[in-house]
A and B are shown apart, each in its own frame.
Chain A
């Protein structure tokens, strides 16, 4: 299997070919964010600003004001982390047409440890007015959401992983087009609604295999597909959120905000339990240690259904 970031890199290259306004910028993380192919094809449209995330964002804003569509990429810990105020004022207050890419999401950068493992990026980006937050899962979705990001006029945050993902989901039921504020049902069921995003969905799909549960890929976290979530909650009466992000401020919080105000439903949030990550030899070790692997998800499903 290829890594999710590979699909992102390819999608950006294709975008670059079809739209001369698309640029790629990074704070010295070209190869990590798979921007090399873009750089080689379009050397004049690629900029490495060096290890300087705040300037990265400012320069991207200036370029967008001159009519370009800049994609700025770094690790999710640094973007938004290191340049949050710049995103707030220069990007969002201007509603600038800048696409922010946070790579190595969650625990996907196992070896480097806590300082490279973002548990809080969705919480940060959700809180900003004008920001759109997209979290793709498989290769096809990654490509489509990258394209969507470029088509939308305004700020977008795209959360990308180092983890391996399937190229596409052939078994997928609905043939819905991807859209900002959309979601897709991966499995229909009646005993429980599971909402999840990103590569962790693979663990969810495997954990849920033998259960009559409904799984929704909630790839658009802001804006949220409220209709789809409410409809499913009404159908099953119970909701489980699984995400490779802190239990505070991510999809779980977004869903809690929605349900408690519009359709109070028992909800369980399975995420990174308010801790930073740590070093490990591989991703699975961290999922296991922090309760996000398929065995633990299955346990959570069973517990919710049996209640």
Chain B
């Protein structure tokens, strides 16, 4: 687990670096989901035939950094985030990067596509698991619940949906905007198996991922409780950091904390 913390630290540094260089990006969600991503890619959970969908496309800096550390993707330059022609588009875009399974950035859509992938694998009787990372704000999209009903009906036990529950969205705290709670109960009532974990505790993260394999007949939703902006004291839970341009001062202070 020590190693995973180190990887997370590196990812967070790269996230800040990338967003600062790019002049814009989404630090808050990228930081809150870092540990989930590191746990998924470095925790010995993902199989060869598995696929990943970043439905919350805006937090791609964390994903780009994680997969680059894991797979050393050829020609991938983190400093090129959001540059013209870059494979590192502001939101994952398949046309520019073959490592993107499906283009996202419009909330709710990646989950549906993930459901389709899981269904496809089942039809072909293939082993692969489909992992989808979503945000809690994203749960406000109706398409999510269309997908949830269908996934349950189709018994897609090869589907694992992780929700980065940092309790914030652009307009502030989620619960001041919509009654997302009780979120776990919502998924349970839609016929899913649900786990709630601390999204910054690797023991809990890895254990939850491993339980995805136990699933008999239901898709699995892992609600990971996180802190938006996690890892940088002045960013945690602050409204500004959903999406912003980092100033030089913010950049330096952040990098100092992540040393």
**Residues of A bordering B, CB below 8 Å:** 44-45, 47, 49-50, 52, 54-55, 57-68, 85-86, 88-90, 93-95
Which chain B positions have C-beta within 8 A of A54? 108-109, 112, 142-143, 146
Q: Are A65 and B116 in contact (CB under 8 A)?
A: yes
Which chain A positions have C-beta within 8 A of B94? 93-95
Q: Are B118 and A62 in contact (CB under 8 A)?
A: yes
What is the chain B residue whose CB lies nearest that of A89?
B106
Q: A63-B116, A65-B116, A90-B102 are in contact. Are A55 and B121 (CB under 8 A)?
A: no
- B residues 86-128 in Cβ contact with A at 8 Å: 93-95, 101-106, 108-109, 111-121, 123-124
Q: Are B93 and A58 in contact (CB under 8 A)?
A: no
Query: How many interface residues does B have (CB within 8 Å)?
Result: 30
Complex alpha-carbon distance, A125 and B121, angstroms: 30
Which chain B positions have C-beta within 8 A of A60? 116
Please report whether the interface of chain A is mostly helix, strand, loop or mixed according to DSSP. Answer: helix
- B residues 175-214 in Cβ contact with A at 8 Å: none
Q: Are A85 and B106 in contact (CB under 8 A)?
A: yes
Which chain B positions have C-beta within 8 A of A61? 102, 112-113, 116
A-B complex: 9 closest residue pairs judged by Cβ atoms? A62-B116, A58-B112, A66-B120, A55-B146, A52-B146, A93-B103, A59-B116, A62-B117, A54-B143
Q: Are A94 and B103 in contact (CB under 8 A)?
A: yes
Complex alpha-carbon distance, A94 and B104, angstroms: 9
Complex alpha-carbon distance, A68 and B104, angstroms: 21
What is the chain A residue whose CB lies nearest that of B93?
A93
Check: B69 CB closer than 8 A to any chain A CB: no
Residue of A47, A64, A66 touching B121 (CB-CB under 8 A): A66
What is the count of residue pairs linking A and B with beta-carbon distances less than 8 angstroms?
104
Q: Are A59 and B95 in contact (CB under 8 A)?
A: no
Tell me the minimal C-beta distance from B135 to chain A in angstroms.
Answer: 16
Complex alpha-carbon distance, A62 and B150, angstroms: 13
Check: B149 CB closer than 8 A to any chain A CB: yes
Check: B67 CB closer than 8 A to any chain A CB: no
Q: Are B115 and A55 in contact (CB under 8 A)?
A: yes
Check: B79 CB closer than 8 A to any chain A CB: no
Q: Are B120 and A89 in contact (CB under 8 A)?
A: no
What is the chain A residue whose CB lies nearest that of B92?
A93
Residue of A58, A68, A94 touching B143 (CB-CB under 8 A): A58
Q: Are B120 and A55 in contact (CB under 8 A)?
A: no
Complex alpha-carbon distance, A54 and B110, angstroms: 11
Tell me the minimal C-beta distance from A49 to chain B in angstroms.
Answer: 5
Q: Are A65 and B113 in contact (CB under 8 A)?
A: yes
Check: B147 CB closer than 8 A to any chain A CB: yes
Which chain B positions have C-beta within 8 A of A90? 102-103, 109, 112-113
Known: A54-B108, A62-B119, A93-B103. 9 other contacts (CB 8 A): A47-B119, A50-B149, A58-B113, A59-B147, A62-B115, A63-B120, A64-B116, A66-B117, A66-B123
What is the chain B residue whose CB lies nearest that of A27?
B146
What is the chain A residue whose CB lies nearest that of B102?
A94
Q: Are A59 and B119 in contact (CB under 8 A)?
A: yes
Tell me the minimal C-beta distance from A143 to chain B in angstroms.
Answer: 26
Which chain B positions have C-beta within 8 A of A65? 101-102, 113, 116-117, 120
Residue of A52, A58, A85, A89 touching B116 (CB-CB under 8 A): A58
What is the chain B residue whose CB lies nearest that of A96?
B102
Tell me the minimal C-beta distance from A109 to chain B in angstroms.
Answer: 24
What is the chain A residue whose CB lies nearest that of B109?
A90
Complex alpha-carbon distance, A64 and B117, angstroms: 8
Residue of B104, B117, B123, B124 touching A89 (CB-CB under 8 A): B104
Complex alpha-carbon distance, A59 and B114, angstroms: 7
Complex alpha-carbon distance, A94 and B94, angstroms: 6
Q: Are B116 and A93 in contact (CB under 8 A)?
A: no
What is the chain B residue whose CB lies nearest that of A65?
B117
Tell me the minimal C-beta distance from B255 to chain A in angstroms.
Answer: 34
What is the chain B residue whose CB lies nearest that of A53?
B146
Complex alpha-carbon distance, A289 and B29, angstroms: 55
Complex alpha-carbon distance, A90 and B117, angstroms: 13
Residue of B104, B113, B124 with highest tally of chain A CB at under 10 A: B113
Tell me the minimal C-beta distance from B248 to chain A in angstroms.
Answer: 34
What is the chain A residue whose CB lies nearest that of B101?
A65
What is the chain B residue whose CB lies nearest that of A61?
B113
What is the chain A residue whose CB lies nearest that of B153?
A50
Q: Are B104 and A86 in contact (CB under 8 A)?
A: no
Q: Are A55 and B103 in contact (CB under 8 A)?
A: no
Could you jot down 26 A-B contacts, CB within 8 Å?
A: A50-B146, A54-B143, A55-B143, A57-B112, A58-B111, A58-B116, A58-B143, A61-B102, A61-B112, A61-B116, A62-B102, A62-B112, A62-B115, A62-B119, A63-B116, A65-B116, A66-B117, A67-B124, A68-B123, A86-B143, A88-B106, A89-B109, A90-B103, A93-B93, A93-B95, A95-B95
Which chain A positions have C-beta within 8 A of B117? 62-63, 65-66
Residue of A47, A55, A66 touching B124 (CB-CB under 8 A): A66
What is the chain A residue whose CB lies nearest that of B120?
A66
Which chain A positions have C-beta within 8 A of B113? 58-59, 61-62, 65, 90
